[in-house]
Amino acid sequence: VVCKQLRARGPGSALRPLRSPEGHSGTQSSHRLLAYSDALISIIATVMILPVAHTKVQDDEELRESVQALLATKIAVYLMTFLIVTVAWAAHIRLFQVVVRIDDCLALLNLACMMLITFLPYTFSLMATFPDNILGILLFCGCVMVIGVIQSLMVLYAFSRPFLLNEQIQISENQTFYKHHILKVIMRVPLMCFLASIASLIVFQLSYALLAIVIFLPYISQFLKWCRSKAMGKCQVEESPDSMLYYTYLPNEPLSKDRVEAFSDGVYAIVATLLILDICEDNIPDPAVVETQFGGRLIPALLVYGPEYLAYFGSFATVGLLWFVHHSLFLHVTKATRLMGLLNTFSLAFVGGLPLAYQLTHEFPRNSQNELEAIQISCVIIFFAGIFQLAIWVVALYSEQETLHPYVRYGGREHVFMLAKLALYPCVALGTFFLTCILSKFSASIFHLMEITVPFAFLVLRLLVRVGLALLRLIFCPDRPDPRTVVEEEEDETRVPFNTLVTELS
């Protein structure tokens, strides 16, 4: 049943022929509009790391101090942008789980919405630079209010043309009830923003608190409710009526898996390519300098930038492999939930910090205290990016019957391999961190060694897992049958063809 509901909500349903489509040739599948919106939002969420990474850290002062100075404004802007833009993205997903087909008018309204979302980072920059001035918060509230009004317009427009709506709402008898429920949820945010902007005219510290509440209250309250109901038994969850199908804010509310993937792809892609931009802008030597200092020979002039190239290839490999792990994980996820989406957001926020790590690791002279700390910061960023990916899997395992493919469930034949894939980066980052603490002199070489050997570790990972499992079995229970037989038995249990399953469930 869950699977059926999920499919009815997913973008796949947009392609299914509706009952009387001949009269409405202007309607279109929303698939590409959503892909474009995901690309825009993911870039906007990530791109604010550039001002952070471009802040030149002075060499004479200690790194820790300058990082603290950065933390005060630019990192705060980056994290705020990432968080708020992701919340806006979640609202966008909710809206387009109800409106599954579009026409020209909805497409144009959506573009207007996107324009305002891309303007949000500017309001955060204003807030961070002038924390005592209310203009930033007023601008932010204004943007959010206009976005809310546009989204309400889209809902009203879609309900006035029911063939644009989700099939379940189309056939539902209480369409008006749905409309009012959705409008109420959407308009709550602009209304609170209006209150916040009035409050900011009186006591502007109050408005920050009000804004934080308005954005996170539904999540927190629903999460608490959900925890309580879990603690008190299942009965209360079952009680929730059909009306709560959309806009529930429950942590197990389904999230379009396609859109989570598209958003993540955008973040990984922009992070990987921001690096080459820095290389192209900063690491082309000045022809005059080459002439005077290196006697016109280009190769020695380029060798000065050696650490930059190494850092570039290392960082690209890290981003690429984190994407690879994410890709492997979501290949086996059959249904994404809100909670998994939240953990994914945290993971991506750390991935977005990698350009900063890249900038720091090659900025300082070799074997200085600063370099050591820069490498440790990089390890911490990579560690958290990896550990949140692992957390997604743990949450998925918690309700594995609904969310995971049989192969990777507990006892499935790919279970241990997937665990190894997900655990590789956190373990390596942690190991590197402690190694750099002990062997402080070789820290840079250790770090680059780590970045370059990890791809090969992935190539031989399947072999390593086999060997490790065999060893474990040999040590702890040497009397049990040969592991090869066990593996084959497991295969028999889950002998459903992989392809058909993926086609059915995704």
Specify the residue, 6 or 372, whose C-beta has the smaller distance to a second copy: 6
Q: How far is the CB of 89 from a second copy (least distance, A)?
A: 13
Site for a second copy in 245-264 (CB under 8 A): 261-262
Site for a second copy in 313-372 (CB under 8 A): 313, 316-317, 320-321, 323-324, 327-328, 330-331
Q: How far is the CB of 499 from a second copy (least distance, A)?
A: 4
Tell me, residue by residue from 129 to 168, as one string, x for binding to a second copy by CB under 8 A and - for no binding: xx--x-x---------------------------------
**Six token digits for residue 92:** 């966008």
> 170 near 163, Cβ under 8 Å?
yes
Phi, psi torsion values for 414, nearest 5 degrees: -100, 5
Inter-CA distances, 162 with 19, 149, 157, Å: 11, 20, 9
Tell me, residue by residue from 32 to 61, as one string, x for binding to a second copy by CB under 8 A and - for no binding: xx-xx--xx--xx--xx-xx--x-------
Residue 111 near a second copy by CB under 8 A: yes
Q: Nearest Cα to 140, choosing from 71, 87, 70, 75?
A: 87
In this chain, which stretch among 16-24, 142-150, 238-246, 396-404 interacts with a second copy, using CB under 8 A?
16-24
Residues 6+ apart with CB under 8 A from 411: 490, 493
Specify the residue, 223 or 498, whose C-beta has the smaller distance to a second copy: 498
Rounded to whole angstroms, the Cα distance separating 13 from 275 reads 38
Site for a second copy in 399-438 (CB under 8 A): 407, 413-414
Q: How far is the CB of 328 from a second copy (least distance, A)?
A: 7
Q: Nearest Cα to 334, choosing from 7, 38, 1, 97?
A: 7
**Six token digits for residue 123:** 């309001």
Tell me, residue by residue from 294 to 313, as one string, x for binding to a second copy by CB under 8 A and - for no binding: ----xx--x---------xx
- Computed on alpha carbons and rounded to an integer, the radius of gyration of the chain in Å comes to 26
Binds a second copy (CB under 8 A): choice among 75, 90, 270, 374: 270
Binds a second copy (CB under 8 A): choice among 411, 431, 455, 468: 455
Rounded to whole angstroms, the Cα distance separating 310 from 5 reads 49
Phi, psi torsion values for 20, nearest 5 degrees: -130, 70
Specify the residue, 224 or 452, whose C-beta has the smaller distance to a second copy: 452
Specify the residue, 172 or 506, whose C-beta has the smaller distance to a second copy: 506
Q: How many residues bind a second copy (CB under 8 A)?
A: 91
Q: How far is the CB of 9 from a second copy (least distance, A)?
A: 18
In this chain, which stretch among 214-222, 343-351, 391-399, 452-460 interacts with a second copy, using CB under 8 A?
452-460
In this chain, which stretch among 167-175, 228-236, 349-357, 458-466 interacts with a second copy, using CB under 8 A?
458-466
Binds a second copy (CB under 8 A): choice among 1, 203, 235, 280: 280
* Secondary structure string (H, E, C) spanning 418-485: HHHHHHHHHHHHHHHHHHHHHCHHHHHHHHHHHHHHHHHHHHCHHHHHHHHHHHHHHHHCCCCCCHHH
Question: Sign of torsion, CA 97 102 105 111?
Answer: positive
Q: How far is the CB of 399 from a second copy (least distance, A)?
A: 22
DSSP E strand boundaries for 319-407? 336-337
**Six token digits for residue 365:** 């002279």
